[in-house]
């Protein structure tokens, strides 16, 4: 049986290649927070509490743009809602853990940690201490994200205001979407969400983000249902 340390180390090593794009993203996030008028402590707090790149940018941009706390928090939840599926997918491997372990691993569960852990769990279902693998992969990403958020905060504090960093927000989201352009169903969801955001932009309380996101999620569930029905 593999030791706790070996499993932790293996999770760390396996997730390392996926941490490469996390470095510039963390720097951009920290710099954007300062650019939008947040203090270094407030910007870092989003990385520590929310711990989700895209959702942090949404939160910072909405809050700085005058959106209500309810809209900012709800929008952040919508962006992070995919983690509910991640947790449900891994629950069969972790259901015997204590509540404390489940809370900790839920906090550390990210796209990258899920990607490597799901593969490992499927191949090693009988490994008793396999949750240490997820702990290793999740903690590694958490540490890198916090560290490079701080680097971004420092850089954002010294970059001249006339240079501006606001343009990096749309560029960051475009870079996140590029990989989804290859599939027609993904492209359809992106177009639905984007079009509704434009049409509903003047909705009260900046609720266009929530309305367009929920509509896109509904469309995604319908597409999944239709594809599942066709495959039967």
Give yes or no: residues 147 and 115 share one domain.
yes
217 vs 156, residue with greater confidence: 156
How many domains does the chain contain in total?
2
In this prediction, residue 166 carries a pLDDT of: 59
Residues 83 and 198 occupy one common structural domain: no
pTM: 0.76
Give residue-wise pLDDT tens across range 22-55.
898 899 899 889 988 899 999 999 999 999 888 8
Residue 180: pLDDT over 80: no
pLDDT digits (tens, 9 = 90+) for 126-171: 888 999 999 999 999 999 999 999 999 998 887 666 555 556 656 6
Residues 69 and 26 in one domain: yes
Tokens of 148: 């490079």
In this structure, the answer to whether residues 161 and 58 fall within a common structural domain is yes
18 in a structural domain: yes
pLDDT of residue 86: 85
Burial 202-220 (b: 16+ CB within 10 A, else e): eeeebbbbbebbebbbebb
Q: Which range marks the domain in which residue 213 is found?
A: 183-232
Q: Which of 138, 167, 196 is the last residue of a domain?
A: 167
Q: Which of 223, 229, 225 is nearest to 190 (CA)?
A: 223
Six-digit token pair at 203? 């909705």
Q: Are residues 205 and 160 in the same domain?
A: no
| Torsion sign across C-alpha atoms 96, 97, 99, 105 | negative
Pair (32, 84) in one structural domain? yes
């Amino acid at each position: 049986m593999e030791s706790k340390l070996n499993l932790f180390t293996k999770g760390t090593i396996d997730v390392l290649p996926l941490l490469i794009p996390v470095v510039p993203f963390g720097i951009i996030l920290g710099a954007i927070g300062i650019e939008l008028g947040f203090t270094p402590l407030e910007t870092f707090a989003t990385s520590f509490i929310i711990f989700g790149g895209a959702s942090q940018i949404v939160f910072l941009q909405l809050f700085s743009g005058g959106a209500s706390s309810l809209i900012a928090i709800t929008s952040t939840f919508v962006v992070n809602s995919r983690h509910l599926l991640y947790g449900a997918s891994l629950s069969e491997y972790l259901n015997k853990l204590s509540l404390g372990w489940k809370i900790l691993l839920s906090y550390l569960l990210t796209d990258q940690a899920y990607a490597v852990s799901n593969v490992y769990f499927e191949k090693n279902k009988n490994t008793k201490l396999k949750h240490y693998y997820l702990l290793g992969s999740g903690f590694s990403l958490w540490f890198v994200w916090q560290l490079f958020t701080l680097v971004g905060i420092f850089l954002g504090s010294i970059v001249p205001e006339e240079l501006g960093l606001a343009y990096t927000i749309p560029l960051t989201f475009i870079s996140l979407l590029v990989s989804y352009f290859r599939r027609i169903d993904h492209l359809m969801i992106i177009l639905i969400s984007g079009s509704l955001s434009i049409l509903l932009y003047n909705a009260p309380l900046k609720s266009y983000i929530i309305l367009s996101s929920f509509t896109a999620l509904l469309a995604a569930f319908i597409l999944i249902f239709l594809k599942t029905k066709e495959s039967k």
